[in-house]
Amino acid sequence: PAARRLLEVSDIEVVYGGAILAVADVSLAVGEGEIVALLGANGAGKSTVLKAVSGLAAADRATVRRGHVRFDGQDILGIAANRLAKQGIVHVLEGRHVFAHLTVEENLLSGAFLHRPTRKELLRRVDDIYAWFPRLKDKRRTLAGLTSGGEQQMLAIGRALLTQPRLVLLDEPSMGLAPRIVQEIFQIIVRLNREKGVAFLLAEQNAALSLAHASRAYILESGRVALAGTSAELATRDDLHHIYLGGP
């Protein structure tokens, strides 16, 4: 990429429980302020790569046995997720883990607990999120568990943004959502990227959608990068689904 490298993953191998090889050999990079897609069928290793970067692998008894992960030129492998969040990397897990019994606003407020900003600064950040996600403002007093799947995905992203990240690791934001709400979410991601300079590494099974919004993509197959290139190049390959993504 033309932009300076923000994230650099080199030759990582990740194993669950000391035995199950989930990622055999993956190298990828995300430039400063870039949107990069990580594509692949179910089980290809996308989530595992994100966890290796965010420091959440350890929580799943996964070990990065080989390779390097660098963020802003610094080796970050083995640094815990809460410390990485302070350095500007935040991971939005697959499946929208919001606190169902807290309101939308309480969920947002919880996003900044590591940073402990002043009350005034905290409310300013929450207001900023409402400007990006007006639906969340409308539902601010609603229990998160009673909002729609799309709203919960927005909430998970909004809460992550409370840490003011430079890089968001976003796992399957489109999963289980109607196309219209997915479009809305992706448009906000693109605006966050353009207007705030937030970089995204986006794990997705939906290739067409991702290629339409990312500048580049890596396609994983059985824990390896099978194909990589600009979205424009990859979008012209009509064998993509058939060969790499396990689709029709």
Examine residue 16 and tell whether it contacts ligand ATP (CB under 6 A). yes
Interface segment toward ligand ATP; rule CB under 6 A; list 40-48, 63-71, 75-83, 209-217: 40-48
Residue 197 CA to residue 191 CA, distance in Å, equals 9
Stretch 47-86 residues interacting with ligand ATP (CB under 6 A): 47-48, 60
Q: Which of 64, 105, 112 is nearest to 85 (CA)?
A: 112
- Among 2, 18, 42, 239, interactor with ligand ATP by CB under 6 A: 42
* Three-class secondary structure of residue 130 per DSSP: helix
What is the DSSP annotation of 66-99? EEEEEETTEE-TT--HHHHHHHTEEEE-TT----
Size of the site for ligand ATP (CB under 6 A): 14
* Closest approach of ligand ATP to the CB of residue 116, in Å: 31
- Among 31, 40, 55, 158, interactor with ligand ATP by CB under 6 A: 40
Residue 85 CA to residue 165 CA, distance in Å, equals 7
Interface segment toward ligand ATP; rule CB under 6 A; list 14-22, 24-32, 70-78, 191-199: 14-22
Q: x/- string (CB under 6 A) for ligand ATP, residues 139-178?
A: ----------------------------------------
Stretch 20-39 residues interacting with ligand ATP (CB under 6 A): 20, 22
Between 22 and 154, name the residue whose CB sits nearer to ligand ATP.
22
161: Cβ contacts below 8 Å, ≥ 6 apart: 90, 111, 129, 132, 168, 192, 198
Residue 146 CA to residue 54 CA, distance in Å, equals 29
- Among 6, 30, 31, 45, interactor with ligand ATP by CB under 6 A: 45
Q: Where are the beta strands (DSSP E) in the chain?
A: 5-16, 20-31, 35-39, 62-71, 74-75, 89-92, 167-171, 199-204, 216-221, 224-230
Examine residue 15 and tell whether it contacts ligand ATP (CB under 6 A). no
Residue 197 CA to residue 25 CA, distance in Å, equals 29
Examine residue 44 and tell whether it contacts ligand ATP (CB under 6 A). yes
Residues lying near ligand ATP in the complex (CB under 6 A) are found at 16, 20, 22, 40, 42-48, 60, 94, 205
